[in-house]
């Protein structure tokens, strides 16, 4: 499946370039589309030690981070279906998020200062769980039961786990900082190894654990 979006195909046809690579090089056409308000979701790739991540944002803020384990085609298709098909690869529009992710992975940043668009976080309990998770500091972790309690439903630890698994903005909303009560790392949308890496990077998990 091609990663090219509907808007990209339309712009490519207008610019009469031969393929999607030609579209990426057609800065003038993409810039005009952005200036005219045709682009509702812009995205770019961020290089990280764990692999490339897809970073997407709206005018309101960062809306989606696609982890290396995810299909970026599926991520874009989901954004098109749930928010808007007006999606275009415009890395400059998400440069701030890409820069802060780079600083996080290089060890120069312990908190993100990004505006977030929570349009994909629609359920009240999920919103409460992710809001509580956002308040867990770098280098610390809480349990699923604790995050459920902070979200107002102490017994809903399984539902809290489901809410964390559906987090559309991982790392920035640090769902990797929620672990099992016995100290086990637990599940993660990016895979257990990625969660362990992030917790080691932040110093909560010691090397060799």
Of 209, 208, 146, the C-alpha closest to 177 is 146
* Distance, CA of 99 to chain centre: 14
Neighbours of 176 (CB within 10 A): 27
Q: Are 109 and 67 in contact (CB under 8 A)?
A: no
Q: Please, what sign has the CA dihedral across residues 30, 35, 40, 44?
A: positive
Q: Which residues pair with 89 in a beta bridge?
A: 43
Coil, strand or helix at 34: helix
Which listed residue (175, 179, 194, 205) is catalytic?
Answer: 175
Compute the half-sphere exposure of residue 202: CA atoms within 13 Å on the CB side of its CA. 20
Tokens standing for residue 54:
């897809």
Asked if 189 is an active-site residue, the reply is no
Tell me which residues are annotated as active site: 175
């Amino acid at each position: 499946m091609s990663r090219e979006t509907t808007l990209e195909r339309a712009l490519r046809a207008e610019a009469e370039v031969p393929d999607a690579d030609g579209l990426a090089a057609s800065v003038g056409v993409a810039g005009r589309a952005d200036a005219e308000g045709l682009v509702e979701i812009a995205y770019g790739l961020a290089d990280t030690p764990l692999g490339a991540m897809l970073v997407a944002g709206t005018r309101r803020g960062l809306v989606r981070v696609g982890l290396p384990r995810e299909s970026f085609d599926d991520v874009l298709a989901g954004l098109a279906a749930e928010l808007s098909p007006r999606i275009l690869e415009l890395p400059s529009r998400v440069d701030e998020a890409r820069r802060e992710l780079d600083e996080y992975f290089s060890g120069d940043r312990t908190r993100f200062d990004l505006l977030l668009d929570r349009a994909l976080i629609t359920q009240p309990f999920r919103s409460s769980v992710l809001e509580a998770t956002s308040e867990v500091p770098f280098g610390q972790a809480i349990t699923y039961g604790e995050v459920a309690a902070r979200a107002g439903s102490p017994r809903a630890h399984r539902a809290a786990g489901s809410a964390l698994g559906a987090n559309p903005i991982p790392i920035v909303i640090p769902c990797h900082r929620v672990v099992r009560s016995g100290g086990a790392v637990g599940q993660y949308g990016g895979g257990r190894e990625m969660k362990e890496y992030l917790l080691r990077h932040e110093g909560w998990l010691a090397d060799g654990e």
